Every structure is written in C-alpha cells, then in structure tokens.
Structure 1
Amino acid sequence: MQRLTISLDDELAEAFDQLMQKRGYANRSEAVRDLLRRELGESDLASGHSKECVAVLSYVFDHHERQLASRLTGLQHDHHDLAIATMHAHISHEDCVETVILRGATRKVQEFAHAVIAESGVRHGEVKLIPVQSKPGTALWRRKS
C-alpha cells in the first residue's frame, strides 16, 4: 500500500469531511479510495476499457401492451447468461416495474439493456453499470450447472 499526501484548502476539506460523515465513512482514506474507485470505474466504462460489469436495469412498462410481458421474458431467457435475477412489481392498473440484475461482458450487458428499453411499450428505462474485475480462478462469471 502506498501513502499519499494531499493538500486541500480549508473550505474544500470541510466540505469533504461533511460528505464523509453524511455517507458514513470512518476516515478520509476510505472516502478517498471509494471516490477514486468510482471515478476510475466510470472512466473505464466511458473509454470501453471495462471488460466486465454487473448492472441494474430498471424499467416501467404497460402490461396491457400486446405480448410485451412475454417479449421481455423472452429477451431475458435468450440472455440467461446475463440476467441473473428479476424483480417485478405492479405500480398501477396499467404499469409494472421490473428490475433485472445483470452480469457479464460490458458490451453485451449494454446491448441487452438497450434492447429491453427500446421495446415498444417500455415507457421508462435506465441501466446503471458497475465495472468489476474478476480475479483469476474465481467463479464470478461462471454459472453453476
């Protein structure tokens, strides 16, 4: 581990300490590490360097739309290697919300999420990608048979 020393003006240091407290960090080092991980991860996603990710895809859809629920389920079955869990809730007489937990190659996860959001009858959709790096020999990306 390396030790870094940084200088901040008083106003920025106070604002950082308030943020740290608000988010429940025990110390500045942990807060800085998390900020750096998030920034580096987002940079990797933006540049295409992030090879693997986990993601949360949430969308609202009209369950009266002809065959939409079936099409959405079919998309998930067609991509069973990416979609690892789904939660479905009824939010009104017409609308449902689903959240799908995804994992896999970043490009494939993005393509799947965009295909779901583009389905006719999906009213609102958003995907949050979280870059991850699997360690050699781990089963993070392998499904158990």
Structure 2
Amino acid sequence: MEQELMRIGISLPDDLLKKFDSIIKQRGYSSRSEGIRDAIRNYITYFEWMYAVKGRRIAAITLIYDCMKCGLSSSLTEIQHEYSFLIRTSTLAHLEPGNCFEVIVLDGEGQDVRLMTEKLMSLKGVKYVKLNTALPPQNNNQVFR
C-alpha cells in the first residue's frame, strides 16, 4: 500500500548541502528525497534506541562543537556540572581553529545518560553528538560506582 507523500522545505548551509549531494551520488540514490528519507529513518532508529537505554550503563558521549560560538562553552560546562554525578572523566582536543572534540565517559542510570546527551545535542554550535553505551561488567571482583 502506497503512503501519501508530504512535501516539506528545509534550509541548509551551502557546504552541508554540497556534502549531502556528494553522498547521495556515491550511494546511488535517485534523488535528495531518497537520501533525506533514509537519513530520517536512521535518526528515528537512533532516537528509539536512546529511549530504550535503561538501567545502569557505562557510556561515552562524543562531541564535536564550535568552541568559538559565543556562550557554547559555558552551556556545555553547565550541563556537565548538572550531570557531574554521572561523569567519570572527559578529554578535550582542539582541532582546527573553531572545532573542539570532546569525549565524556559516564557511569549511571540510562535515563540520566540519555537526558544529558539530549541536552548536549540541542545546543546551537554542537556539530556532532554520538552516544555509545554498554552494560557494566557483572564480575563482582570489579568495582564500578
């Protein structure tokens, strides 16, 4: 059964659209619409996976952001302070001017990990966020808080 197609309009920076068009061509999509549908399906799958993260988790949040964006560093720090009970360590690398790469290692309840990740994702100037989680080891000889 064919679903009705809805037409939408989006605005993108020129460099992002050029990269997207290049990927569309490499992957052999017949149109931008096909690529956008695929990207949206992947986004939904990732969103659903994040909401299924429950119980205690060991996690890493990977970020790339514009460290020159006014107020962004302060906002990132505020969120990290709000969730300091989860954070075990973090590391920051300065890439080319304006871009920072940060990895935050967490240990805590999946819902808290997800909430922190979503707050980071929503900040303007954050270019990339990826959450990875694992169940903590069950070996009682290993100590995790």
- When normalised by structure 2's length, the TM-score is 0.59
Alignment match, 2:57: 53
CA distance in 1, matches of 2:52, 2:66: 33
Say if 1:50 and 1:132, in contact at 8 Å, map to a contact too. Answer: no
1:80/1:46 Cα in 2 relative to 1: closer, same or farther (>3 Å)? closer
RMSD between aligned alpha carbons?
2.5
> For structure 1, which runs of at least 5 residues remain unmatched after alignment?
1-44
Deviations 1:45-92 (A, max 9, x none): 778474110111001100111111111111111111011111001111
Deviations 1:20-66 (A, max 9, x none): xxxxxxxxxxxxxxxxxxxxxxxxx7784741101110011001111
- Identical-pair percentage: 19
Say if 1:84 and 1:102, in contact at 8 Å, map to a contact too. Answer: yes
Say if 1:53 and 1:106, in contact at 8 Å, map to a contact too. Answer: yes
Instruction: Give the number of aligned pairs.
Output: 97
Alignment match, 1:94: 98
1:64/1:106 Cα in 2 relative to 1: closer, same or farther (>3 Å)? same
CA distance in 1, matches of 2:57, 2:67: 29
- When normalised by structure 1's length, the TM-score is 0.59
Deviations 1:70-127 (A, max 9, x none): 1111111111101111100111111001100011001111111111121111011101
Work out whether 1:78 is the aligned partner of 2:82: yes
SS at match of 1:132: coil
Q: Larger radius of gyration, structure 1 or 2?
A: 1
CA distance in 2, matches of 1:122, 1:47: 21
| Equivalence map 1:1-145=2 (5 Å) | 48=52, 50-132=54-136, 140-141=144-145
